[in-house]
Amino acid sequence: MAEASSTRLRPAGVRAGAAAFAARLLMLLALSFAVMARPAAAQSILRDAESEQLLRDISRPLIEAAGLRPQDVQIVLVHDDTVNAFVAGGQIVYIHSGLITRAVNANEVQGVIAHELGHVTGGHVIRMAEGIRAATGITILTLLLGVAAAAAGGSPEAGAAIMSAGQRAAIGRFLAFSRTQESSADAAGASFLRRAGISGRGSLAFFERLQNEEFRYDVPQEDSYERTHPLNRERIAVLQNLYQTDPAWDRATDPLLEERFQRVRAKLIGFVDDPRRTLRRFPESDRSIPARYARAYAWHRDHHADRAIAEADSLLRDRPNDPYFLELRGQILLETGRPAEALESLREAVARAPDQPLIAALLGHALIATEQPANFQEAKQVLRAAVGRDNTNPFAWYQLGIVYDREGDSARAALATAERYNLIGQPQLALANAERAMLGIPVGTPDWLRAQDIAMVSRSEVERRRRR
């Protein structure tokens, strides 16, 4: 049918095709930025007190070496089996669970964190817009030139050739920009490791593993032109020289830190992996702490509560005051319908780790789940302490709302519900509950002011979404 079109109509067809191509490329670049800038929006965040404490501790010297304040930087664990880490604006580093479970040691994870901090200090997410503007500028220019060539010479083929070359140039420009940022983050990460006195062996081992994966899946290794990252062999060659001349090259990771990492790694495997695969990986003949930790979670997920409790008890026999083993035992009992039995372990866990609000929130949940009114006052106390330390936990706000509702304090139950909806991105419901709270809480009090803040923020977001 195209061949039947008159010559007079072809230039218009070229313009329409070129416009469609330009729109596609603009969308591609915009989506690339959106994926890099907000990749965590559709992913599940894993919250665990022990894991978060470990990530804070292994990253603290690197954050300080980067000239940042540890209290301003978050290391967030994402439930995703792929080996990946990224930044998405601000001072937040996201690490996939797959990276932790496949890392051999803590030093490898430190190498990844150092690299991601290089993106943070370089402002690379913000600067990504520069790369998009440069690429789209090339696209628009070649679009105009292609249309002009087709119109002037009557040759749609010439116009299409110009626009095709423009497409390649635009994408090449964007990818080159991305590779430059990655190389910059590599160099910055190496400098942070050096300043922190941490060996780069783990960083090199991580890149070598990525290279082996590429070989395994037959990823082309000849040219990095069409890649967002430099070739791993190129990165290894550059970093090897930097790391091996560093005085920290032969410095071992602190044994206690490494022990903690192996515990968290095994715990995470037990939590996210298929239980049967976990039990094959950590057979009962393996009596190490990481193996028992992994099996406890695997048995629990596979609905074998007695075997899970037996593993938890064996861990507590070795370390009776460990708050995370106490938390594990309480969690298993709570989640298998025995909240009253869970209280002793969870109370002890909170006493042993009073600075861990996630454990306190679990205790609050257990106290409410007993359905004993005598436990509600204690539940309110521990949950208020939990949200006081970490007000970004929707689950804790949900539990606190239950306590207020059981006490007949509907206004503060609405405030707690507004907090929860505000955190999970439901502004319409957050607004309705904040306004309800303001009607029942004395004007000018801290709780009333907080409800007012949530109402203002939520109203603005509702209006923004309506306009969009």
- The residue ranges of every structural domain in the chain are 10-244, 409-468
For residue 135, what pLDDT is reported?
41
pLDDT band at 213 (very low <50, low <70, confident <90, very high): low
Calculate the dihedral angle through the C-alpha atoms of 389, 394, 400, 405, rounding to the nearest 10 degrees: 160
What value does the CA radius of gyration of the chain take, rounded to a whole number of Å? Answer: 27
Residue 159 phi/psi, 5-degree rounding, is -65, -40
Integer CA distances (angstroms), 16 to 176, 221, 283, in order: 29, 37, 63
As given in the structure block, the two tokens for residue 159 are: 């116009």
pLDDT at 414 over 60: yes
pLDDT at 205 over 50: yes
pLDDT band at 128 (very low <50, low <70, confident <90, very high): low
Share above pLDDT 70 across residues of the chain, in percent, rounded to a whole number: 74
Q: Which residues contact 78 (CB under 8 A, 6 or more apart)?
A: 40, 43, 44, 45, 46, 94, 95, 96, 97
Between 48 and 227, the more confident residue is: 48
C-beta separation of 120 from 75 below 8 A: no
Q: What is the mean pLDDT of the chain?
A: 82
pLDDT at 464 over 50: yes
Tell me the C-alpha distance between 444 and 452, whole Å. 10
pLDDT at 409 over 80: yes
DSSP, collapsed to helix, strand or coil, labels residue 62 as helix
Range with lowest mean pLDDT among 80-89, 387-396, 417-426: 80-89
Calculate the dihedral angle through the C-alpha atoms of 359, 365, 367, 371, rounding to the nearest 10 degrees: -170
As given in the structure block, the two tokens for residue 443 are: 């004007």
Angle at 425 between CA 419 and CA 431, to 5 degrees: 55
For residue 468, what pLDDT is reported?
83
C-beta separation of 289 from 302 below 8 A: no
C-beta separation of 159 from 147 below 8 A: yes
Between 170 and 189, the more confident residue is: 189
Calculate the dihedral angle through the C-alpha atoms of 136, 140, 141, 144, rounding to the nearest 10 degrees: 170
Q: Is the C-alpha dihedral spanning 65, 69, 70, 75 positive or negative?
A: negative
The residues pairing with 95 across neighbouring beta strands, listed in sequence order, are 77, 85
pLDDT at 18 over 90: no
Range with lowest mean pLDDT among 34-38, 220-224, 429-433, 463-467: 34-38
pLDDT band at 209 (very low <50, low <70, confident <90, very high): confident
pTM of the model: 0.78
